[in-house]
Amino acid sequence: MPAGLTRFEFRASCDEDGEVPPRIVIVDDDPSFLATVRLLLEAEGFVVVGEALSGLDGIALATELDPDLVLVDVNLPDIDGFEVVERLAQESAPPVVLTSIRSADDFGNLVQRSRARGFIAKADITGEALTGFLEGRATPA
Amino acid sequence: MSSRPTAVTVRPAGLPVGGYGTSGPRVRQVLWLLGGVTGVAAFVLVADGDAGNAWLTAALTLGIGWCFLASGLVIWAREEENPLGLLMASAGLILLAGAAVGELGVAFGSWLGFAAVNAFVAMFIHVLVAFPDGRVGSGSERLLVGAVYADLVLLAPLWLAAGGDDPPRGGAAGLLRPEAFASSLGGPPAAVALLAGGGIAWLLWRRWYWATRHARLTLGVVLLSGGVSLALLLAAAVAARSSAAGGRAIGWVAFVAFGTVPLAILAGLVRGRLARASVAELLRELETVRTPGALREALRHALGDPTLRVAYWVSEARGFVDLRGRPFELPWEGSNQVATKVERDGRCVAAIVHDGSLRDAPELLEAVTSAAGLALENERLHAELRSHLDDLRESRARIVEAGDAERRRLERNLHDGAQQRLVAMSLRLRLVEAKIRTDPEGAVPIVTELRQELTEALEELRELARGIHPAILSDRGLRPALEAAATRSPVPVELSTPAERMPAPVEAAIYYVVCEALANVAKYAQASSVRVEVVRADGRAVAAIADDGVGGADPSRGSGLRGLADRVAALDGHLHVDSAPTRGTRIQVDIPCD
């Protein structure tokens, strides 16, 4: 497995209600951000099955693990988040939600024109918002 | 080959004057008269003599004599400073006099005529060597021409007399009796004549070979006609040994060929003269030179060189620029073009870059540059202004670019630094929010991290704000601001600054230069100490930052100092970097400050 790619053991097959918790892959080049988001999402009932520090690693991981959702930072060291979205869309891979320190306004209509499921500013990331995307909404709940 | 630019320095002087000599015109009148009388006498005596085809011989003798005399006198009148005219006129006169004296029928006259005609041939060779400026330049040329004179005028008659022979009768007409001419040129005189003639032929061929395109044509025509004449004369003498009639026929052709030489010389000099007439035209054209670039056209026209270019001296840049103020490279040695520098009042004004062949016409160049001196000075000022404007435009563009770059840097710093930390803190706060009820103990380390993160974010923002504009500078002035900067510098700083306040733009410029210099010292200089000194005197603020590091800084590399140089220049100041390898770096700013 290439460096910068982390795959986690599938620790829970189902939660207490008998529902299968959503599996997610996070792609961001900032390890401290990855750690914080993982803690946050796991506290809210998500299972983070993989983390990648670059766009290409993220694509490989998402294809391999087939999670329910991929959360991708727009600014990545190799290819940017929009490119990740396009490449994953061609492989009928899981839906992608883009995220950034900037707000959606900073990207004009790039998000709307992309094949991403939606966009969420990093400061707004919550399990609830991501669940909204999983249910097909294009904007955070 | 060395790569030095070639340049001939021409100081504009007065226009060359010709034909105003004091005694020249009187002497020429006498020579015209003398030549006329001698010519008629020679014609009558030769035509009446016993030579075969006496009338034809007489006519040819008169034709050649007068041709030389008239061409010589015309050249002399036009170019008083050129001795070629007098030489040619004398040759013509001596030929006619020799022909006349030789036909007198007395022994002494025959000897005199023989020597005179030989002197004519020697002078003829002298003319070929001395063309076009009338001077016999090199030592070897002088030696060979001297040898020809000694051989033909002294040695040949002596040799003839020593052998007990009579001189060939008929003076100049002797030339037309190749059999006699041949017998007179036997033995050592012939050997000397052949040696000297060969040497001169070699010299002249070499001169033609090395001549420029412009000079080759004129030189070629003259030397060819002269060479053909002498070769025919020699051929006639050789032919006469086997057939008198054949030798004589060739001799006539040779005689006609002799007559063409003065005409070729006259034409060559008139060609130069015609070019010179264009100076007067240039002076008229200069009256109408109004638009930039028109002067170049006028000069091209005057000098007959469509490739001519003009470069103007800008003393501040210590170099030449074109009319648009762009740097101009003078041609290198070895190229077809040559630069002639033009000076006015001892100062270099411009350089005219022209075809190398114009070097053969120094008087023309001098006349043209002197005529165009004032117009060149005007255009130089124009070019200098353009050069300054270009500098200004470039520095303005750089200032705008630097402003944009600075905004990009700020955005990136904010994005990568404070913004990132705040987002992370926001996410952690959310975590704390989730944990605080269920797992208060677990929330404590997260809050500790948050506090740490907050301190760092604040420090980053402070740093950023200081980079945008240090509050201490505007609030407290240059000295406290520089003291603060010195404290932050990892390399020890020795600081000396006046306490008084200076205008805000001056303080800011000096502050940023010092900060940039200190940052560079820390990054590259490997210095053990830096000395920063700010002095205010004579209406100027001067700051110098000197380190004892490795030196070798290149101010053109990197945008930092360049941008600061623009900032300083905007205040009419100068920034100077002195950074020889191993001798440390010294940066000095000098800004007007009243």
CATH code at B236? Answer: 1.20.1070
Inform me whether the C-beta atom of residue A127 falls under 8 Å from chain B C-beta atoms.
Answer: no
Inform me whether the C-beta atom of residue B142 falls under 8 Å from chain A C-beta atoms.
Answer: no
B-chain residues within 8 Å CB-CB of A121? 423
ω into B132 cis (within 30 of 0): yes
The least confident of B195-204, B264-273, B326-335 is: B264-273
Q: Do residue A126 and residue B423 have CB atoms under 8 angstroms apart? A: no
Is there a single domain that holds both residue B417 and residue B391? no
Q: Do residue B415 and residue A43 have CB atoms under 8 angstroms apart? A: no
Inform me whether the C-beta atom of residue B421 falls under 8 Å from chain A C-beta atoms.
Answer: no
Angle of helix B84-102 versus helix B107-130 axis, rounded to 10: 160
Q: Do residue B427 and residue A30 have CB atoms under 8 angstroms apart? A: no
Does A140 fall in a domain? no
Provide mean pLDDT across the span B195-213. 80
Which of B342, B373, B397 is the last residue before a domain boundary? B397
The answer for residues whose C-beta is within 8 angstroms of residue B365's C-beta and 6 or more apart is B8, B10, B303, B340, B352, B354, B358, B359
Give the CA radius of gyration of chain B.
43
Q: Do residue B435 and residue A43 have CB atoms under 8 angstroms apart? A: yes
Q: Do residue B424 and residue A32 have CB atoms under 8 angstroms apart? A: yes
The answer for residues whose C-beta is within 8 angstroms of residue B449's C-beta and 6 or more apart is B428
Task: State which residues form the domain around B385.
Answer: 304-397
A75: burial class by Cβ within 10 Å (0-12, 13-18, 19+)? middle
Does A15 fall in a domain? no
Which of B370, B397, B424 is the last residue before a domain boundary? B397
In the prediction, which pLDDT does B186 show? 61
Nearest to B431 among A32, A43, A121 (CB): A43
The least confident of A1-15, B101-115, B428-442, B463-477 is: A1-15
Q: How many CB pairs under 8 A join A and B?
A: 35
Contact between B532 and B545 under an 8 Å Cβ cutoff? The reply is yes
Does A46 fall in a domain? yes
The least confident of A122-136, B117-131, B210-224, B305-319 is: B210-224
Contact between B333 and B359 under an 8 Å Cβ cutoff? The reply is no
Instruction: State chain A's maximal CA–CA distance in angstroms.
Output: 42
In the prediction, which pLDDT does B366 show? 78
The shortest C-alpha distance from B436 to chain A (Å) reads: 12
CA distance B366 to A51: 83
Inform me whether the C-beta atom of residue A36 falls under 8 Å from chain B C-beta atoms.
Answer: yes
In the predicted model, is pLDDT for residue B5 greater than 50? no
B-chain residues within 8 Å CB-CB of A36? 424, 427-428, 431
Q: Do residue B424 and residue A33 have CB atoms under 8 angstroms apart? A: yes
The shortest C-alpha distance from A140 to chain B (Å) reads: 16
Does A54 fall in a domain? yes
Provide mean pLDDT across the span B541-563. 82
> Domains in chain B: how many in total?
4
Does B9 fall in a domain? no
Which residues on adjacent β-strands are paired with residue B532? B495, B545
CA distance B103 to B99: 6
Q: Do residue B434 and residue A122 have CB atoms under 8 angstroms apart? A: no
Q: Do residue B427 and residue A125 have CB atoms under 8 angstroms apart? A: yes
Inform me whether the C-beta atom of residue B428 falls under 8 Å from chain A C-beta atoms.
Answer: yes
Give kind and range of the element (H or E) at residue A120: strand A118-121
Is the complex ipTM more than 0.85? no
Is there a single domain that holds both residue B566 and residue B550? yes
Q: State if pTM tops 0.90.
A: no
Does A123 fall in a domain? yes
Is there a single domain that holds both residue B485 and residue B566? yes
Is there a single domain that holds both residue B131 and residue B236? yes
Q: Do residue A37 and residue B426 have CB atoms under 8 angstroms apart? A: no
Closest residue of chain B to A34, computed from CA coordinates: B424
CB atoms within 10 A of CB B582: 8
B-chain residues within 8 Å CB-CB of A40? 427, 430-431, 434
Which of B343, B365, B397 is the last residue before a domain boundary? B397
Is there a single domain that holds both residue B36 and residue B185? yes
Inform me whether the C-beta atom of residue A39 falls under 8 Å from chain B C-beta atoms.
Answer: yes
Mutation site for A-interface testing, chosen from B414, B416, B421, B430 by largest number of A Cβ within 10 Å: B430
Phi–psi pair at B519, nearest 5 degrees: -65, -40
> Domains in chain A: how many in total?
1
CA distance B173 to B117: 9
Q: Do residue A40 and residue B431 have CB atoms under 8 angstroms apart? A: yes
Q: Is B530 helix (H, G, I), strand (E, B) or coil?
A: strand
Provide mean pLDDT across the span A67-84. 93
pLDDT digits (tens, 9 = 90+) for B208-257: 877 665 667 778 888 888 888 888 888 887 787 777 778 778 878 888 88
Does B8 fall in a domain? no
Which residues on adjacent β-strands are paired with residue A73? A99
CA distance B381 to B344: 13
DSSP H helices, B243-288, are 244-288
pLDDT digits (tens, 9 = 90+) for B48-104: 876 667 788 888 888 889 999 999 998 888 777 778 889 999 999 998 898 888 877
In the prediction, which pLDDT does B557 show? 65
Tokens of B509: 């410029």
Does B18 fall in a domain? no
Tokens of B417: 């630094």
Of the candidates A130, A131, A112, A109, the one whose C-alpha atom is nearest the C-alpha of residue A121 is: A130
* β-bridge pairing B540-547 and B530-537: antiparallel
Inform me whether the C-beta atom of residue A44 falls under 8 Å from chain B C-beta atoms.
Answer: yes
Please, which pLDDT band fits residue B273 given cuts at 50, 70 and 90? low
The CATH number linked to B524 is: 3.30.565.10
In the prediction, which pLDDT does B513 show? 92
The shortest C-alpha distance from A73 to chain B (Å) reads: 13
Is there a single domain that holds both residue B426 and residue B505? no
Does B6 fall in a domain? no
Is there a single domain that holds both residue B446 and residue B486? no
In the predicted model, is pLDDT for residue B176 greater than 90? no
Provide mean pLDDT across the span A16-42. 86
Is there a single domain that holds both residue B231 and residue B91? yes
Tokens of B214: 């412009």
Inform me whether the C-beta atom of residue B424 falls under 8 Å from chain A C-beta atoms.
Answer: yes
B-chain residues within 8 Å CB-CB of A101? 415, 419-420, 423
Does B124 fall in a domain? yes
Q: Is B365 helix (H, G, I), strand (E, B) or coil?
A: helix
Does B12 fall in a domain? no
The least confident of B177-186, B336-345, B561-570 is: B177-186
Provide mean pLDDT across the span B532-552. 92
Nearest to A101 among B420, B430, B434 (CB): B420
Inform me whether the C-beta atom of residue A102 falls under 8 Å from chain B C-beta atoms.
Answer: yes
Is there a single domain that holds both residue B447 and residue B507? no
Please, which pLDDT band fits residue B466 given cuts at 50, 70 and 90? confident
Does B57 fall in a domain? yes
Phi–psi pair at B15, nearest 5 degrees: -65, 145
In the prediction, which pLDDT does B12 show? 40
Does B297 fall in a domain? no
Provide mean pLDDT across the span B478-484. 91
Inform me whether the C-beta atom of residue B413 falls under 8 Å from chain A C-beta atoms.
Answer: no
Inform me whether the C-beta atom of residue B34 falls under 8 Å from chain A C-beta atoms.
Answer: no
The least confident of B293-307, B397-411, B550-564 is: B550-564
Is there a single domain that holds both residue B238 and residue B376? no
Is there a single domain that holds both residue B372 and residue B459? no
B-chain residues within 8 Å CB-CB of A44? 434
Provide mean pLDDT across the span B470-478. 87
Q: Calculate what percentage of chain B has a pLDDT beyond 90.
A: 14
Task: State which residues form the domain around A41.
Answer: 21-134
CA distance B94 to B4: 50
Contact between A62 and A94 under an 8 Å Cβ cutoff? The reply is yes
The CATH number linked to A73 is: 3.40.50.2300
Does A98 fall in a domain? yes
Does A93 fall in a domain? yes
In the prediction, which pLDDT does B421 show? 85
Is there a single domain that holds both residue B218 and residue B77? yes
Does A113 fall in a domain? yes
